[in-house]
Amino acid sequence: MAMARPFIFKACLLSAETANLLKKNRMDPKPFSEKDQFFSTKAEKVTTNGAANISLQEWQGWGAISPLPAMVIEVIQDLKLLEKDIGAHLDFGGNHGKLQGDFKVQEDKKHRAKFQSLGNSEKKLQFFSARQIACRLLGSRGYLCQKCWLPMEDCMCSRLLPFPLWHRIRFWLYMHPKDFLRQNNTGKLLCQVFGTHAATLCLFGISELEEIMWSALNFSGRRNVWCLYPNKNAMPMSVQDTFIQNSSRDHQSEQNSVLGDERINFILIDGTWSNSQAMFKRLKMGDKKKEKRKEI
């Protein structure tokens, strides 16, 4: 079991009973034919014509629930200024929103210089994350479906039906920026099926989204927060075990509260193994910061 105040972080598993409950009444999709594709293998070219602004509606259309992040806006503005300075349009490879061509060469020099000039690691992380997300937003515009993150011609939204998640559970999809808008990312299906307020996207290094998550977790309290992350010392537990354990720990008056409207929050880390280690470390550091604020 990995402990981090004021929240408890453990590796835990859903019981078979809970899994069957989630599967109940699900849609049985039609069989896929050999022609069906889950994601496109071709890298299409995307070039903007100065229309690089991202609206709040567009931002939240990709699954976010926060205002448009200030650092993302700043990065987009810098890209537009560079576009004007060098007289070239933003040029992307379609699959992951990666810059390419002469614009990429000039932008690499500029963003590396800015990254080095930032004063601390937190600012560097926020800039790194914002740049990754800004490029993916601009490069994926008009190419990927906003709901399933697949190319328009391979959109699978018609095969999915919304499913109400039990009101006592909330998922937090803590995603690394390099996995944002990836075609082969499956985590975003949670948000699409359960809805963004039952399965909420939180992007690593984006303070506006992280603050929403921290506030919700802090409000729920440490006994109601679980992080699904491999740990050799952790014991697998079912959701049912979690509720029973929480109830047995507390006073009778608190039990009534737990059995009422309180939610159990599950943080799901979505990233590569190497990236997820840094994300898990940030979760634990965030816990300690919250605890220090309480003591003050």
Residue 289, pLDDT score: 57
**pLDDT surpassing 90 at residue 261:** no
Give the model's pLDDT for residue 245: 60
pTM: 0.77
Which stretches within the chain are classed as H helix?
16-23, 56-61, 70-86, 101-117, 121-140, 188-194, 207-220, 239-249, 252-258, 273-295
Read off the pLDDT band of 142 (50, 70, 90): confident
**pLDDT reported for residue 290:** 54
Is the pLDDT reported for residue 37 higher than 50? no
Q: Provide the pLDDT confidence category of residue 88 given band limits of 50, 70 and 90.
A: confident
Instruction: Assign 40 a pLDDT band (cuts: 50, 70, 90).
Output: very low
Q: CA torsion sign, 269 to 272 to 278 to 281?
A: positive
What are 148-163's pLDDT values in tens digits?
A: 999 999 999 999 999 9
Q: Which amino acid is at 181?
A: L
* Domain-wise residue ranges, the chain: 2-20+152-295, 45-140
